[in-house]
Structure 1
């Protein structure tokens, strides 16, 4: 939509001069504070905040939701349409999920109060893990207290300096951090390019003790999916493990929401390691690993992020187990989600908006071409009663800055049409202002 942070050359020069003057006028910090100001990225954060203030942009992040954040939410005392939450199946706030959490809360209290290995184990943990394993049709599963920490601790613990980790360039930060922690050789291949992945694996597999390919089932930035059968075949040809992060795929992909293996019609056992999070379709919190019984037993007794971390709060485990039960009992929720996302994608394309490679399954980005343009559009939409978050540099390249819309089975057709109409109006207004300025 725009380039150069959405500003003309003259406007950029004027902004830089204003920021430079502010920097000169600022009193030097004390020694201790100065040390923290030297932390990586701190100066960039300061510059972004000051630039946003100079441009009259509000901070779109950390807005407090004052109730249940579903298809609508209340922020600042005002109800708005909500496209900023992962509640894909509309189960956050479902009375049955709340009742399951309340029952566990009354029985076990708020906290597990210890590592599960020590004395934090509760029956609800095993029940959740059995349900997850059955969901994938694999031997066993293990639940961790944090989704991000699941990838960090499993990858960091499973692989080592003599190993190779090959991952999609768009992989989640948690996978990248886990790979870095492991000390393994780490190679990124272009997003969703299975041919490039095989070239890299063929070139480097011989020198590695073990090899692991890591992909996502449904990419959270772009809303697209990989060719799972191709990656399975590559892993088998080159004696590598395949790990699939299903954080945004569970409850979304496949006719009944079982994930990317159902979408492609392949046996889930063809994937060596299934990872998922409970905070999206299952409206809880935490991460899961599912797969071979030997793998799960080994992680249960040795993964640092499990052994040395408090057990998942029983109420959250119970809530996610109940949400999974409802997913299986009510597959029509997956169908409604698919309809809603497909409608949003079609309307956005008809409005001439750039939706990238989105498959229209639950996540639809609208790429606008600069971080300032994305922030401005997010603010303009919020003023029009639509809550959607901008994704800005450095999370994505500035030229790929975007608004990221999360769809839900709970959204109504009228809400989706109203949101796209507001978006198209805001984009048209921004383009007119740019042309005039």
Structure 2
């Protein structure tokens, strides 16, 4: 793999020269701004502009924010053209299921679209309690609380439960929402190497006595790599070191485990051994929001004290109804999870046989194709889009440059022909782009 974003030395020098020239040229149409009001100096603004300019210089259209014409499932329509779609969290095809849509419509007819205010201030709707009871049962927990945003769930819960005297120990690939919650809490934050429970325990043993409470946070299914942790050792170390264990199941529900019940089912661990289950409503459950399941005392505390619940509008009734119906279908039709996992295994095996690097993916619902170059990943995504395959590139700085990738989200509704065509298109794109690069060099 060539270095410098997948370009030859000559091509990279030419690109940098073009970008430098653009930056040196003043924009006559732009009014002069005082330093404090110059929005181009805000954190991240220049990085975004640099990526945009690099894409323009390479002749690459942005793959982001494309408008879909309808439901995005195993297939989607973009600009009135059908695509095989690998860029949706609609793992079990429940977003668009008539039963889910009917449940949401009935909730609108009964309660309207919005909860209108916080549940603490103005009361709640019966569907809230029904959803939370079903989610608690799904996780083998005593109680559950639903929030309006998955990201905000982690931010507000981690930020509320821990303080400056405490310790948060998390996987180095943990989601941004947990990192933001840790920052808000003021607790000391330590990251351990990905899925390395032995390294985590060494850190915890060395630091535990220096802090008040300790929280270990892992994910049940990591969205960048599609791999899973060994849950049992994390449960055991939490007990041994008097720590709380939190598992983020955002990409696990409906995806991991024989019937889609998540990492506890996958690893054969009693779910009540985990102190805090976190999940989202926006993926398998085809709604929007997040939730925490655990002991009743924890949920009661969050219900009255978590800022993201107390000071935020309640979950919209049609979203709660859609999530509840999706959960019911998930549990009544376990063949959906089995079909998803079979599709993921098929795609993973074929991609590997074709010579693509897929990392540590467990083949449960997420398969990365790691290309090691942001420009190569962007070019591959563009070529696949042209061939009728919609998949998003993950580029530097979201991942290290050597880990730039295409990230495939599988669905139970993909056909064998869909999967075969995707791998075939990957091979064709690689051959075409490699040939172009060889000619350019």
Fold-level similarity (TM above 0.5): yes
Indicate the SS of the match to 2:168: strand
State the aligned residue count: 437
Structural mapping, 1:65-104, within 5 Å: 65-104=68-107
Distance 2:410 2:6 in 1: 27
Match of 2:300 in 1: 297
CA contact (8 A) 1:2 1:368 kept: no
1:338 aligns with 2:341: yes
> How many Å apart are 1:203 and its aligned residue?
0.6
Match of 1:144 in 2: 147
Encode CA deviations 1:90-144: one digit per residue, 9 max, x unaligned: 1110000000000001000010000011115111000000000010111000000
Distance 2:31 2:146 in 1: 45
Structural mapping, 1:251-266, within 5 Å: 251-266=254-269
Match of 1:30 in 2: 32
CA contact (8 A) 2:220 2:263 kept: yes
Question: What is the TM-score of this pair, normalised by structure 1?
Answer: 0.99
Structural mapping, 1:243-258, within 5 Å: 243-258=246-261
Match of 1:353 in 2: 356
Distance 2:424 2:438 in 1: 21
Encode CA deviations 1:337-377: one digit per residue, 9 max, x unaligned: 01000000000001000001100000000000111111111
CA contact (8 A) 1:2 1:373 kept: no
Q: Which runs of 5+ in 2 are unaligned?
A: none
Distance 2:91 2:18 in 1: 43
> How many Å apart are 1:211 and its aligned residue?
0.3
Indicate the SS of the match to 1:141: strand
> How many Å apart are 1:401 and its aligned residue?
0.5
Indicate the SS of the match to 1:396: coil
Distance 2:338 2:80 in 1: 32
Encode CA deviations 1:274-318: one digit per residue, 9 max, x unaligned: 000011111110001000000000000000000000001100000
Q: Which runs of 5+ in 1 are unaligned?
A: none
Structural mapping, 1:14-413, within 5 Å: 14-27=14-27, 29-31=31-33, 35-413=38-416
> How many Å apart are 1:395 and its aligned residue?
0.8
Superposed CA RMSD in Å reads 1.0
Give the direction of change, closer, same or farther, for the CA distance of 1:17–1:189 in structure 2 (3 Å limit).
same
Distance 1:430 1:176 in 2: 37
4+ runs deviating over 6 angstroms: none
